Structure 1
Amino acid sequence: MDVRFASERWKSRVNNKAFNDTFLKACRGEKSDHVPVWYMRQAGRSQPEYRALKEKYGLFEITHQPELCAYVTRLPVEQYGVDAAILYKDIMTPLPGIGVQVEIKNGVGPVIDNPITSLADVEKLGELEPEEDIPYVLKTIKLLTEEQLNVPLIGFTGAPFTLASYMIEGGPSKNYNKTKAFMYSQPKAWGQLMKRLAKMAIVYVKAQIRAGAKAIQVFDSWVGALNTDDYRTYIKPTMDMLFKELKKEGVPLIMFGVGASHLARDWHDLSLDVVGLDWRMSIQEARNQGLVKTLQGNLDPAILLAPWEEIEARTKSILDQGMMTDRFIFNLGHGVFPEVNPDTLKKLTSFIHEYSSSKTL
């Protein structure tokens, strides 16, 4: 695969297109001619071009090659016609920069051989220096935003709780027992860990914005494992500080987690612009709870494996609820499955654009 040739060919096509800012308009609550759409995990997994690359390269190997990483990032824009790209990388990407060694194991996910167990372990963590620790990420962003995209690029970071869960558990977990036990039994160490990870996320995000990212999504993927009281006690103060600092950068900020509908109201209180919903809470339910900010979501990704008639009916329902205001972005309730046919995503994107355009006329 000649990625450089593909990049030049795509660049010439992009230069002839106007910049599509419908996603940014929706983040700000401004009217546009259609509902914008992008999909979590739209880059990779289900795409045959990506699977071919994965036969030669690991995830970290791809992200360390800016031309290759940019190619993977922009593929969904070219293939599906989505209104935003999200940078291809992993939430683990910045951790080696602070002294946490991570391995991505096939069929398992991120694995950390020296999990955190004490305050002493927390105090050993270093500070992220983006230009030294992740220059390849910044170069990829610049390639995309300066030469290759006519849609906004979304940068992202893992939230402190989710990053901490991997660092304490040593990898993915079903119940987060070790993480919760650490949080309850070592509050001083937990507080320090939250502060350090929030500081890392702030530095990381600001570097992405300087490089050209037009919006940021914060993934607190696993914070739904906590109840509301524990979230407010152990997590929300850190998130409040994080978003207040990032708000100064002037780009839209999005929050997303899985199984966390009970926290949506608390997210809405933070200094962010967009609340991402998984499929467990409908758009209308969120509005009924008083969420007036832009909502993003929330088709169950499993529906993408159903017949088209079912996909269309579910999508119409979500769109009808979302289009009651201008503050709506269509997305999935979590990421694209590897089994999803890319043609389904292309057809879905076209349907969303056409259906929402007909409703705004």
Structure 2
Amino acid sequence: MRSSGSGSSRNGGRGNYRGAGDNRDQKQGQGRPRKPRPEERRYDVAPGAPQDGPKSGRGGSARGGAKGGPKQSQERGRGRTTPARSREYEARTEERNRERYAGRKQISPPKTFPGAEQEGERLQKVLARAGYGSRRACEELIEQARVEVNGEIVIEQGMRIDPEKDEVRVDGLTVATQSYQFFSLNKPAGVVSTMEDPDGRQCLGDYVTNRETRLFHVGRLDTETEGVILLTNHGELAHRLTHPKYSVKKTYLAHIVGPIPRDLGKRLKEGVRLEDGYARADHFRVVEQTGRNYLVEVTLHEGRKHIVRRMLAEVGFPVDKLVRTAFGPITLGNQKSGWLRRLSNTEVGMLMKEVDL
């Protein structure tokens, strides 16, 4: 009796466990679909194949979420693309929008800074265009009280001026606020001092053919004379630099054959009589001597034709070679023969100061 009871309890226990498991599977099946076992899975070979087909090939499981295939959420959402609109539809939409806003009053946005309605141009912008650096650098020049407008020092930022009328100076030197250009050319020997030559000879215009604005030369140099010659489109500056009233000095190096007397410089400074009047040198010195060959420096403010050659020939020393090394404050330096260089702002200011501009 005891053994049967114990046996029944053991058997009953097993039966109760199995029964509970079956009931649990049924309860889970009622809430959500039961996941099929591997032997119960079905594979479709191809569209239209019977449902009870062979278990081979890649079918819906590969296409619908199995590893290696796209998920259905991607197929439903991300994979879809909006159809493009036709050009005719876009044109009609644009036309409707234009008709809708055609009668509305146009609104102008407010000014972004005070005083924008004022006439003129900001001072720092004018200085930046003239080549004094960035606008911030030009603002620092104003802060340092180095800028003058019409004779008065400017310390306030944002001042507006008329570049055509107002006179601007930096460190006492006039600024070319307009679109002027200034160049220095080391003219080689054999180049004619004209911008165009009807005989086809090499001339100054050959060195500035790629310039948009028309340039002209300041003064002249003999065809065989080398050295500094200025080119610009500033007419008033060019006129004053060559006018006898302003007495702009030019410096020349001349090669002559000696021996030369000690009083040669004194004679040139006192004046040499030429066919068109007396000519006087402002300065004379011997730069170099090699045997009988002398390299002398002559400075004068006159600009008559062949003036240096004629003066030295009159005192008995014809010139073999002549080079102009300076025109006012503009010096030749190490500029090579035939090279054209743009003058700096400081050099332009010094030129203008030379002739009271």
Q: TM-score, normalised to structure 1's length?
A: 0.23
| Bigger Rg, which one | 2
Q: Give the TM-score normalised by the residue count of structure 2.
A: 0.23
